[in-house]
Amino acid sequence: MINEVLHTLPQVLIDGLTLGAVYAIVALGYTMVYGILELINFAHGEIFMTGAFVGTAILLTFAGFGWLASMPAIVALILVLVVTSVVTGLLGMGIERVAYRPLRNAPKLITLITAIGVSFLLQDIVRFIAELKNGNYILTGPSLFSGQIGIKASSISSIFNDASVKSSFFIVLIVAVIMMVTLDFFVNRTKWGMAMRAVAQDRETAALMSVNVNKVIALTFFIGSALGGATGVLFAIQYGTIDPYIGFILGLKAFTAAVLGGIGNIRGAMFGGILLGVLEMFAAANLPVVSHGILGAEYKDVFAFAILIIVLIFKPEGLFGKVSVEKV
Amino acid sequence: MKNWLHTIQQNKRLQALIVGLYIVVTFFSLYLAQKSVVAFLLLLSSLLLLYFTTFSNRVKWLIGGLVMVVLLPLAASQGEAYQSYMEVATLVGIYIAMALGLNIVVGMAGLLDLGFVAFFALGAYTYGIFATGQANNFMPFGHYPLSGESFWVFIFIGCFVAALFGILLGVPVLRVKGDYLAIVTLGFGEIIRIIFNNLDKPVNITNGAMGLASVQPPRLFGIDFMYPSQFYYIVLVILIAVIFAVRRLEFSKIGRAWKAVRENEIAAQAMGIHLVKTKLMAFAVGASFSGMMGVVFAAKQTFVDPTSFTLLESITILVMVILGGMGSVPGVILGAALVTILNLQVLTELTNWLNQLSLNGVISVPDALSPAKMQRFIFGIILILFALYRPQGLLPAKNPVFNEKELKDTDKLVNAGVQKEATQHVHLDS
């Protein structure tokens, strides 16, 4: 049994890293918003999904004009990433302005309910537009990086099987790392980043120190949503087929990743995302083997939620979070 | 306009006249025009009119009961659409009971539960498994399917199973703060659905995605309950019991504890309220209503499969509570009725109408825009608009107001207990 698990390990690690990178960046959006507003932005998963659709739509348009063949794939990718992140970033800011800002002092329950409403609304608007333009809301984008590269893991040790990698894997990983490093630099080293951390710590005091709180919150939403949208594009390129309902479950898992790493903690979210991606792929590959076929691969979602519940019960502050004491 | 309403409010005889006239007119319009959905809805809304009158509670219940038990089925029974009307009325009843259950969890105790449909699924599967041959696969004794007479017992079993799972879910989850709770319950709802979808191996318990077909109909005194017009009465009886229970709970000690926890957990704890016990109670009671209706739902549909219990259903029930008004029992009843009728009648009628128009070439509406597909859009809009502009809902919750002077009156100190109860009743009525 151990042998079987080890055989598939290289492939599991590669798939897990890809998925984990996606989770990690989406988790960043959750963790930033939670850090600053103490609000679970349910709509963030839908912003990710919108990003995937916007990106695919742009690529399809390019392909329709025949531009895609005439420019290098990497240029097309960068172009699409930039446009999509600006669009989703503005979308995130708009959502904050319309749906969350008027409720900033309302009970938390009300804000959560608006967030769910926004999430449903976005799902249906995207479905509607996709179905109107395309006849079907399930979209398949053009494949930009479809080459397969074999990794001879068996040459390292005979226990492992060979793994195969889509070349988009490297793109996803590289872009994800660039985004995370840039964000980390931005938050920790720049003036705006300092303002964000200040608002997260104490909104009123930050305002007294002449930080424009509304602007900082809008900026947070812009950055988080832009990252989420860009990740959507990466997801669409890596996995090919998208539909308007991918965002909800993926968002939920990304939130799990954020909780795992300690909510409000940016580095923790990155680590939690990667960890959750690898764990989930590991479970999907090995649950049927370990349980002799009793538990199918369908239980991988249950596995992710079980992790969430266990973390919340035993270590609600996450792996890297700080324990907070609630006062009246 | 305001003056006019005021005069009507003062004059009970005028109110009786208006309500009576309304009921008679709508009754006969449905009786004569069987195909008119509008007449059916108007007759149903006579109950709302009744709610706004100033009659005493007993009179309201009597008239309401008369409309529900006699007039509505009688008026609808004259044409072919009888069963479809009763189907709608039955489903409205089922959703009202579920929304009242969620109202206890969300509205009174302030715990956002996004996986509420899981308890409904538990109830439905509890009856579904034992009322089909499915239980033969894993039960070592007994003959299955159980006969339809067991349905009446299963209503209580479903209630109990759902309450049990409510507690099981609650015990670990309630240590978590409010907003995490939403996520965990959401996860729980999905887990239950995935498990029901995959529990056909190693032992075939739920028959997986295929679902359970031909569930035994309930039977009483040798009569099988097969048609919606018969289920209507089952649902009505359960619903009245549920409304009664909710009303009593709301103003009991535990109900006041729920509201205290909702307003401020720490302050409530300081007042001597046991947090975990109170929250668990809310989960269990809310879930039990849902489980009961799950049993009825399984018997009515005679078919159970996991697709009936998606996240959309949970959100639908949440929309009912938000629309009607969190914590307000009449509001939630109104909200549940509105949303269910919107879902079942208005959207389908609109879709048919638009299809008709496109067929005739008047206007062409793209298939993507057909109202039957717009549920998520509509629910999203309702949630956002109500949260932003009217968080208290259509019929806001009212807290009983005590007459301070009467309470302070030392002359009546001897009867203080009786007095207090009496005032409370008076204000519940209003």
Determine whether the interchain pair A249/B315 forms a contact, defined as Cβ–Cβ distance below 8 Å. no
Q: Tens digit of pLDDT per residue, chain B (430 long)?
A: 667 777 777 777 777 777 778 777 777 777 777 667 777 777 777 777 777 777 777 777 777 777 777 777 777 777 777 777 788 888 888 899 889 999 998 888 888 888 888 899 988 888 888 877 776 777 767 666 777 677 788 888 888 999 998 888 887 777 766 677 888 888 888 888 888 887 777 677 777 777 777 777 777 777 777 777 778 888 888 888 888 898 888 888 888 898 888 888 888 888 888 888 888 888 899 889 989 888 888 888 888 888 888 888 888 888 888 888 888 888 888 888 888 888 887 787 788 888 788 777 777 667 667 777 787 888 888 888 888 888 887 888 777 777 777 777 755 555 555 545 544 544 444 4
Instruction: For residues B229 and B144, state if they share a domain.
Output: yes
* Identity of the residue in B175, B375, B383 whose CB atom sits nearest the CB atom of A313: B175
Please measure the distance between the N-terminal and C-terminal CA atoms of chain B and give it in whole angstroms.
Answer: 22
Contact in structure between B234 and B86 (CB atoms under 8 Å): no
pLDDT surpasses 50 at A274:
yes
Q: Is residue A119 part of a domain?
A: yes
Mean pLDDT of chain A: 82
**What pLDDT does residue A49 have?**
92
Alpha carbons B251 and B248: distance in angstroms, whole number: 6
| Residues 6+ positions from B55 with CB-CB distance below 8 Å | B12, B15, B16, B63
**Least CB-CB distance to B376: which of A120, A306, A316?**
A120
Q: Which of B324, B353, B371 is the last residue of a domain?
A: B324
Which residues of chain A have a CB within 8 Å of the CB of B114?
Answer: 116
- Point out the residue among B190, B202, B318 whose CB comes nearest to the CB of A305: B190
Which residue reads 């300092």 in tokens? A194
| Cβ-based contacts of B373 with chain A (< 8 Å) | 127
Rounded to a whole number of angstroms, the distance from the CA of A206 to the nearest CA of chain B is: 25
Q: Which pLDDT band, with edges at 50, 70 and 90, does A90 fall under?
A: very high
In terms of domains, do B184 and B216 share one?
A: yes
Please answer yes or no on whether A113 and B369 come within 8 Å at the CB atom.
no
User: Measured between CB atoms, which of B184, B264, B387 is closest to A117?
Assistant: B387
Q: Report whether pLDDT(A87) > 90.
A: yes
- Residue B107 domain flag: yes
CA distance A113 to chain B (A): 7
**Contact across the interface for A301 and B195, Cβ inside 8 Å:** no
Mutate to test the interface with B, among A97, A116, A263 (most CBs of B within 10 A): A116
**Domain-ending residue, one of B324, B347, B373:** B324
Confirm whether B288 is domain-assigned: yes
Tokens 């008679």 sit on residue? B24
Taking CB atoms and an 8 Å cutoff, what residues of chain B touch A109? 106, 110, 112, 178, 326
Among B103, B111, B191, B196, which would you mutate to test the A interface (most chain A Cβ atoms within 10 Å of its Cβ)? Answer: B191
- Place A159 in a pLDDT band, splitting at 50, 70 and 90: low
Nearest CA in chain B to A305: B187
Smallest Cβ–Cβ distance between B376 and the set A39, A40, A124 belongs to: A124
Q: Check CB contact under 8 Å for B198 and A299.
A: yes
- Distance from the A92 Cα atom to the nearest Cα atom in chain B, whole angstroms: 16
Chain B residue with the nearest C-alpha to that of A117: B380
In this complex, which of B178, B190, B369 lies closest to A108 when CB atoms are compared? B178
Q: Is residue A192 part of a domain?
A: yes
Nearest chain A Cα distance for residue B285, angstroms = 21
Q: Which domain holds residue B189?
A: 86-324
Say yes or no for a CB contact (<8 Å) between A109 and B112: yes
In sequence order, the β-bridge partners of residue B220 are: B223
Q: Do A113 and B383 touch (CB under 8 A)?
A: yes
Q: Considering only the beta carbons, identify the residue of A40, A102, A137 that sits closest to B182.
A: A40
Per the domain annotation, does B424 fall within a domain?
Answer: no
- Look at A112 and B202 and tell me if their CB atoms are within 8 Å: no
Contacts within 8 Å (CB) and 24+ apart, A133-141: A133/A57, A137/A243, A137/A244, A137/B368, A138/A241, A138/A242, A138/A243, A139/A53, A139/A56, A139/A60, A139/A241, A139/A242, A139/A243, A140/A240, A140/A241, A140/A242, A141/A55, A141/A56, A141/A59, A141/A60, A141/A236, A141/A237, A141/A240, A141/A242
Whether pLDDT at A175 is above 80: yes
* Neighbouring residues of A291: CB distance < 8 A, sequence distance ≥ 6: none
Residue A272's contacts (CB-CB under 8 Å, 6 or more residues apart) are A23, A24, A27, A256, A257, A258, A259, A260, A261, A262, A318, A319
Say how many domains are in chain A. 1
B111 and B166 share one domain: yes
Query: Angle, to 10 degrees, between the axis of helix A44-65 and the axis of helix A213-239?
Result: 60
Question: Are residue B101 and residue B229 in the same domain, yes or no?
Answer: yes
What is the predicted pLDDT for the residue at B357? Answer: 80
Q: What is the pLDDT of residue A158?
A: 65
The answer to whether A121 contacts B182, with C-beta atoms less than 8 Å apart, is no
Is the same domain home to B187 and B54? Answer: no
Q: Note whether residue B395 is domain-resident.
A: no
In a domain, B313, yes or no: yes
Distance from CA of A140 to the nearest CA of B (A): 18
In a domain, B100, yes or no: yes
Q: Residues B192, B223: one domain? A: yes
Rounded mean pLDDT of A54-58? 89
- CA-nearest residue to B185 within chain A is A309
A29 three-class SS: helix
Task: Give the DSSP letter of residue B165.
Answer: H
Which chain A residues are closer than 8 Å to B172 by Cβ? 309, 313
CA–CA min distance B154, chain A (Å): 29
Cβ-defined contact of B187 to A119 (cutoff 8 Å)? no
CA distances from A22 to A11, A17, A73, A172, A279 (A): 17, 9, 21, 8, 14
Residue type, A26: V
Segment among A20-34, A87-101, B2-16, B79-93 with least mean pLDDT? B2-16
Domain boundary at B53, B80, B107, which? B80
Contact predicate A150/A164, CB 8 Å? yes
Which of A233 and A66 is assigned the larger pLDDT? A233
Nearest CA in chain A to B169: A309
Q: A132 to chain B: nearest residue by CA?
A: B368
> How many Å apart are CA B327 and CA B82, to the nearest integer?
34
Of B177, B187, B388, the CB nearest to A309: B187
Say which residue, A194 or B50, is predicted with more confidence: A194
Q: Are residues B117 and B232 in the same domain?
A: yes
Q: List all residues 6 or more positions away from B231 whose beta carbon is below 8 Å from its beta carbon.
A: B86, B90, B225, B296, B299, B300
A248 chain-B contacts, CB cut-off 8 A: 311
Nearest to A328 among B179, B266, B391 (CB): B266
What pLDDT, on the 0 to 100 scale, is given for residue B430? 40
Residues 6+ apart with CB under 8 A from A28: A180, A183, A224, A227, A258, A266, A269, A270
Q: How many CA atoms lie within 13 Å of B138's alpha carbon, on the beta-carbon side? A: 14
Q: How close A266 comes to chain B (CA, Å)?
A: 18
On whether both B92 and B67 belong to a single domain, the answer is: no
User: Does the distance separating the beta carbons of B377 and A125 come in below 8 Å?
Assistant: yes
Mutate to test the interface with A, among B195, B377, B381, B390 (most CBs of A within 10 A): B377
Indicate if B197 and B315 belong to the same structural domain: yes
CA distance B5 to chain A (A): 33
Question: What gap in Å lies between CA A98 and CA A106, rounded to an integer?
Answer: 14
> How far does B404 lie from chain A, in Å, by closest CA?
30
Residue among A106, A110, A124 whose CB faces B377 most closely: A124
The pLDDT value given to residue A322: 67
- Same-domain pairing of B61 and B104: no
Does residue A269 lie in a domain region?
no
Range(s) of the domain holding residue A38:
2-259
User: What does each C-alpha distance from A68 to A138, A143, A186, B75, B374 come to in angstroms?
Assistant: 22, 11, 33, 66, 35
A291: nearest CA partner in chain B: B202
Nearest to B182 among A112, A121, A131 (CB): A112
Same domain flag for B53 and B173: no
- Report yes or no on A315 lying in a domain: no
Asked if the Cβ–Cβ distance from B384 to A118 is below 8 Å, we say: yes
Our count of domains for chain B comes to: 2
Residue A128 confidence (pLDDT) above 70 = yes
Nearest CA in chain A to B200: A294
- Is residue B65 located within the same domain as residue B97? no
